[in-house]
Amino acid sequence: VEDAGEMVLILIEDDGHGIPESERARIFDRGVRLDTSKPGTGLGMAIVRDVAEIYNGMIELDESEDMGGLLVRLSLPKAS
């Protein structure tokens, strides 16, 4: 967690396979699942994005430079 002025930045990284850049925007669509070997509905990332936006925040996906997998940046406004 980092202080980013009027926002709080939450960084989540892993050392897995990551998400190809071409799929990163699509993963926020309802019903989209990249890993179909496990059960799920494909709603999780869409819900995270919607909740972040409701609170005037945002979520971005990138590649982790430190761990090689996925880097998720979730930014939310600080409570006033």
Q: What is the pLDDT of residues 38-49, one digit of tens each?
A: 899 989 999 999
| Domain count of the fold of the chain | 1
Indicate the Cα dihedral angle 29, 34, 57, 6, nearest 10°.
-160
Residue 35 has what pLDDT?
A: 83
Domain of residue 67, CATH code: 3.30.565.10
Q: Residue 5's pLDDT is what?
A: 92
| Domain range enclosing 11 | 2-77
pLDDT, residue 18, reads 87
pLDDT digits (tens, 9 = 90+) for 29-80: 999 988 888 899 989 999 999 999 999 999 999 999 889 899 999 999 998 7
Q: Are 58 and 65 in contact (CB under 8 A)?
A: no
Structure pTM? 0.82
In the three-class reduction of DSSP (H, G, I as helix; E, B as strand; rest coil), residue 34 is classed as coil
Residue 60 Cα to chain centre, angstroms: 5
pLDDT of residue 17: 87
